[in-house]
Amino acid sequence: MTPPDPVALRDLAVRAAQEAGALLLDRLASERTVNTKSSATDVVTEVDVAAEAMLLARLLGERPDDGILGEEGTSRAGTSGVRWVVDPLDGTVNYLYRIPGFSVSVAAEVDGTVVAGCVFDPSRRETFAVALGYGATLNGVRLAVSPVGDLAQALIGTGFGYEAAVRDRQGRVLSHVISRVRDIRRGGSAALDLCWVACGRLDGYFERGLQPWDGAAGGLVVREAGGHAAPLEAAAGPAAGTWIAAGSALHGPLITLVMEAERLAT
């Protein structure tokens, strides 16, 4: 079987993400039904579900033998070796409050490895596109991560979970990080946070508790922009599972800082 072309998968991801993003903008001003998932603060709307259905229709309409994993419950095995990992609305709380900080994330895995993807920011009409080995772009312009290596000069992004106990610990971790860096930003969309590392709007990013659809596309965007983006392994102790994204110069220092902060927060 001929391996799938990462560029073709990227281009399909872009088309699907932009179509779903147009739906998000079209329904932004309308009233919506809000339900909850893991906690009272973990919200989902009918727009999340409609956008996921649109993504499925586009992706499987063009590649009916692929598998798919979606945040809103879609899980389908395929026979092609390709699986799409999609978040139809990353930053639902921002969307609910009409804050321009939400995105559509679409990634393609081949035999478990992410090889292509797109993160589309409808509010800014920014398309972050990536194909393994072909680099990452923002609206067609090649991306490169920040060269900053000094934590004291680094603008760092982060995010928080939905359960009170998780947030409490994340707050303690953050209290040990914030005095060591230039400043902290909390955007509300992990996919966009990762892409902002890739384009240098953030020097680094860390967050614990990301799901596969949160980091699949954005993580590859960072890596193809010359940076590092992955969850920490078990050897990191209390910080295991925390995603760290940064350029090469900042990556090691940021890992050390987050691991230290996690130990102090225990």
Q: Tell me which of 114, 142, 170 is where a domain ends.
A: 142
* Same domain for 84 and 14: yes
Give yes or no for residue 106 having a pLDDT over 60.
yes
Residue 36 forms part of a structural domain: yes
Residue 249 is predicted with a pLDDT of 98
Q: Which amino acid is at 249?
A: A
Q: Give me the phi and psi of 183, to 5 degrees please.
A: -170, 170
Question: Residue 81, SS3?
Answer: coil
Q: What predicted TM-score, i.e. pTM, was given to this entire model?
A: 0.94
- Among candidate residues 120, 142, 164, the one where a domain is terminated: 142
> What's the rounded mean pLDDT across residues 113-132?
98
Pairing mode, if any, of strands 204-208 and 183-185? Answer: unpaired
Question: Each residue of 151-161: pLDDT tens digit?
Answer: 999 999 999 98
Rg, the chain, Cα only: 18
Task: Give the span between the Cα atoms of 102 and 122, in whole angstroms.
Answer: 8
* CATH number, domain with residue 170: 3.40.190.80
User: pLDDT per residue over 193-243, tens digit each?
Assistant: 999 999 999 999 999 999 999 999 999 999 999 999 999 999 999 999 999
Q: How confident is the model at residue 162 (pLDDT cuts 50, 70, 90)?
A: confident
Say what percent of the chain tops pLDDT 70: 94
Measured at the CA of 222, the angle between CA 53 and CA 180, to 5 degrees, comes to 120
Using alpha carbons, select from 37, 38, 35 the residue that is nearest to residue 163: 38
Amino acid code (one letter) for 17: A
Residues 6+ apart with CB under 8 A from 10: 108, 116, 117, 118, 129, 130, 131, 134
Please, what is the end-to-end C-alpha distance for the chain in angstroms? 50
**160 and 130 in a common domain:** no
Its domain, for residue 43, covers: 6-142
Percent over 90 (pLDDT), the chain:
84
pLDDT level of residue 64 (50, 70, 90 thresholds): very high
Same domain, 174 and 202: yes
Cα 93 to Cα 129: distance, rounded to the nearest angstrom: 24
Residue 90 contacts residue 51 (beta carbons within 8 Å): no
Per-residue pLDDT at 74? 81
Neighbours of 199 (CB within 10 A): 20
Map 143-155 to HEC letters. Answer: CCCCCCCCHHHCE
Write the CB contacts of 34 (distance below 8 Å, at least 6 apart in sequence): 43, 44, 45, 96
Q: Clarify whether residues 130 and 162 are in a common domain.
A: no
pLDDT the model gives residue 71: 84
Mean pLDDT of the chain: 93
HSE-up of 118 (CA within 13 Å, CB side)? 28
pLDDT at 39: 57
Identify the pLDDT of residue 31. Answer: 62
Evaluated on CA atoms 131, 100, 68, 60, the torsion sign reads negative
pLDDT in tens, 35-63: 665 555 555 678 888 999 999 999 999 99
